[in-house]
Chains A and B, each alone.
Chain A
Amino acid sequence: MSKFFLPVMTLWQREVVRFLRQRSRVVSALSTPLLFWLLLGSGFRASFRPPGTPEGTGYLEYLYPGIIVLTLLFTAIFSTISIIEDRKAGFLQGVLVAPVSRASIVMGQALGGTTLAVFQGALFLLLAPVAGISLSLQAVPAILAVMVLIAFALTSVGLTMAWRMESIQGFHALMNLILMPIWLLSGAFFPSAGLPSWLAWLMRLNPLTYGMAALRGCFYLGNPASAGPLPALLPSVLVTLLFAGGAFLLATMTALRKTEES
């Protein structure tokens, strides 16, 4: 067992230590979502009230859980992007020639990225009063648990892309083409109520929709009515669990193919 877990732990720890030594990364991963939230949230407040939510729900409040997912997405992605360079001219070269399974390498990377993302997301939780959400004591662990699942899934998606890519430029293109739409169509930005059916279907097929729903559901554990119409909590958590597992499997397979058969 230690043959699998020792490499996992060591790679995981490395990600976290590196992150903490680069203060600018901590700030930049938080500042963009924060800016988005304050500008969009305040800007749309006058003209837009999310349909299906109770009276008094402002856009700032609606967007808040969505921005947390955006924070998770950004952090997960930025922690995986470094792998592209690292593999050709960096620390990862040494990892790849070591007698460790590719699955344990990917697992270490995924847990590292997840930890950073959840850490940033948790910092955002402190802003709940600004959003007008009062968090109950049992909501916080539930929210954190869902964040872990979402972050693990998104980091794994990032890893799948990063292992496949030869250049950082290609990664940015994929990010704009795939990851941002996935976020926009997850219910983070607008709910599915009242949308044209093709758009509603796209949202229904988007795995992140269920992570988003689970997170939103956890924010309103005491009074689900305030969350507006959402997929039910338990199935949402299950779908997110599957998403995380599937994305991890995909990342591992990509790493295997890239290193053993290229």
Chain B
Amino acid sequence: MNAVPAVRVTNLYRHYGTRVALAGVNFNVMPGELFAFLGPNGGGKTTLFKILSTLLPASSGEAEVFGHSLVQHPHAVRSHLGVVFQHPSLDLKLTVMENLQHHGHLYGLRGKLLRERAAEVLRRLSLVDRTNDVVETLSGGMQRRVELAKGLLHKPKLLLLDEPSTGLDPGARRDFNHYLVQLRDQEGVTIILTTHIMDEAERCDRVGILHQGQLVALDTPDALKAQVGGDVIAIRAARLPELCDKIAARFDCAPTVVDGALRVERLRGHEFVREVVEAFPGEVQSVTFGRPTLEDVFIHQTGHQFWTDTENEGRAL
């Protein structure tokens, strides 16, 4: 691990007035990694994305991209970056090709080289037959692909994507993810994305979980899930607090109440389910049992459920 990290972030803080958006974040991303920041809205993902993409200065702390300081050499950093925004940065009134041309010019590409690069990204993202269509006539999934094509035109070493699957149906999301994996494998591009979708984070090499401005966990999806003690059992009952105490006393564990259910992490969960139902007949209304997911990792780390009610619309996978 002697290589210069693609991204090195040290003790990064960002305040908005008195509100703290990032409270001392540390991490490295190595070249060629596909890295996800997972967290609920308001967790600090977008702030981190804005800082890394040079749109927002940090309040304190340091951030480097391929060894270039974001503060001292923003120009050098920018030339390595490809950025895909949550809100499209396409000009809807222009054609796909016109959007690519303007983008290329901003990165000093022109003439034959620009035409070749444009043809290449359009081919790669299967957009060739849409080259001369005005962007506003394209579907949402198609626009995302143009957005990605734009981000790749100047062959960035680091691709930053903010909630790339927003507004995509599951099929389009899978396709998009497939492009990212291909990009990492074939070109060695380092990719950092933010997401609130477990599924999407699951497919990345490493995942950082952001909660209230802090990086509460950072590891591979499998290692994160291994942190949760075995299986995850959720129990619903009429008198939850009472049952909670009884279970704690009888099984020597510490159940938590999350989202109206008792939540227990336990090895050999299937046996525990049987024992609980037998021990408290009539009190248990329902039991669900499963292997831990990244959502369980989040609850395990923070003691909070991942979603509040207002965010549930984004949950449908």
Residues of chain A at the chain B interface (Cβ within 8 Å): 2-3, 6-7, 9-11, 13-14, 17-18, 21-22, 88-100, 259-262
Contacts and interface: CB of A to CB of B under 8 A. Distances in A.
Interface string B81-102: 1010101111101100010011
Nearest to A18: B93
A3 B98 contact: no
A90 B85 CA distance: 9
Interface in B95-114: 98, 101-103, 105-108, 110
Contact of B78 (A10, A89, A98): A98
Contacts of B103: 94, 98
29 contacts: A7-B106, A9-B105, A10-B102, A11-B102, A14-B102, A17-B98, A18-B91, A18-B93, A21-B93, A89-B85, A89-B87, A90-B89, A91-B89, A92-B89, A93-B55, A93-B83, A93-B89, A94-B83, A94-B85, A94-B106, A97-B53, A97-B83, A98-B78, A98-B106, A98-B107, A99-B79, A99-B106, A100-B106, A262-B56
Interface residues of B, number: 30
Given A17-B94, A88-B87, A91-B90, A97 B55 contact: yes
A174 B68 CA distance: 40
B276 to A, nearest CB: 50
Contact of B105 (A10, A92, A261, A262): A10
Please classify the interface of chain A as helix (H, G, I), strand (E, B), loop, or mixed, using the class held by over half of its residues. Answer: helix
Contacts, number: 76
A10 B75 CA distance: 19
Contacts of B55: 93, 96-97, 259
Given A6-B106, A18-B94, A21-B93, 16 more contacts: A6-B105, A10-B105, A17-B93, A22-B93, A89-B88, A90-B89, A91-B91, A93-B85, A93-B89, A94-B150, A95-B106, A97-B53, A97-B55, A97-B78, A97-B83, A99-B107
B75 A260 contact: no
Contacts of A88: 87
B117 to A, nearest CB: 15
